[in-house]
Amino acid sequence: MKSSFTEWMISLRGMKPSGNESRKPLIDGSSDAGDVTSASSTQPDPDRDHKNLQEEVRQFLTRALQSQPCCCEEDYVRLYVDIIPFIRAKTAAAVVCDGVWAVCYRELQEFVQRFKQQQTEELGNKAKTWRENRKTFETIDFLKTLKTCKELRLHIQTAVGRIPPSLLKDTVAELEDMEVVTMNLLMGVIARMTESHLKDYFRSAQKWLPLLTDLVNYFPKRPYAAEEQKNSLFKLRRWSADVGPAVSMDACRLHQTMENLAPGVQERNGILLRIKELLECEDTDGLKLTMAFMEQECTQHNADLDLLPKLLQWKGLSRQEVKEVMGALRDAEEEGCAWWRDLTCCVSTCRQQQKPNI
């Protein structure tokens, strides 16, 4: 009776009899909560992300390494202008601890190594075959490599504190070494070119050294390469620390040769003998005295006085310093100062009594 009454009350409330088979689960499979397994599978995987980033950076740098002719300013700057913004974009939102900086710059280091190997081979071949291709040879490819190394080096140095110190140091060292290799190859070409032209010059009756024409052709005036060209030409001018003694020795040998061929010939190597003294002198007053000696030589032998300021520029003096030294000589000579008359007398006397030590 009680059981029938209970069933009747349950039916009035619209409830189903209790039973395990009719219980609703706490988390419905169709609800928005989802299951625990699927939620855990969406967690980020740093290793996978780094591999994807590494592959993306590597592919980009590989494409960038493809050789391009240097025909215009765009070609001249293309490599570093493409690479630097790309690396910056990949590391812009990254923090040091997430490893993104290290991944990008390790790939950049490998790129630098491949770039160095490629350029050493290509520029080495150009340096070896310049004689066969002298009509089309240009230095622009050497200058382009110097520019690219410099810009990449400056960019990598901005990553200090964000990448391992050894990574930064090794990559910068690779680029600096590449700059040295490139400059040595270029200087080697100019040295062999100079030697060849000088041999032809002394065998012919022409008075104009063809080397000067070739230098103008090989170092074309391109505004976008002006900085590298200026630095390269400066290093070519002063590529040997022993240039002073070498010139003095050659000057003596030249006169000895002329003396043997024509005994009693007048000695006219005074300017060359003063080159060593000029290069070693660091005092302004001393330079003025040396230039007075050299001017005396030019005057005695009707040599071109324009040579004197050019020698000061070759030494490395600025335009203002050259103007100061030469201006002092001009002013004193025009005013007829007593010290200038004494100096010229001293120059004449000393010139007969001594020669610079070699």
- Walk along the chain (358 residues) and give the pLDDT tens digit of each residue: 555 555 655 554 555 555 444 444 433 444 444 444 444 445 556 678 888 889 999 999 999 888 666 667 788 888 999 999 999 999 887 776 678 899 999 999 999 999 999 999 999 999 999 888 877 788 888 989 999 999 999 999 999 988 999 999 999 999 999 999 999 998 888 888 877 777 766 666 655 556 667 777 767 666 776 777 666 655 555 545 566 676 677 667 766 766 665 667 666 667 777 878 888 888 888 888 888 888 887 777 777 777 788 888 878 888 888 888 888 877 656 555 555 555 555 555 554 554 444 4
Q: Are 332 and 292 in contact (CB under 8 A)?
A: no
What pTM was computed for the model?
0.55
Are 61 and 111 within 8 A, CB to CB? Answer: yes
Q: Where are the domains of the chain?
A: 48-237, 243-353
Quote the DSSP letter at residue 139.
Answer: S
In CATH, what is the architecture of 48-237?
A: Orthogonal Bundle (1.10)
Dist CA 28 CA 18 (whole Å): 19
Q: 343, 240, 334: which is closest to 289 by C-alpha?
A: 343
Q: Are 164 and 179 in contact (CB under 8 A)?
A: no
Q: Give the phi and the psi of residue 163 in degrees, each rounded to 5.
A: -125, 160
* DSSP state at residue 15: P
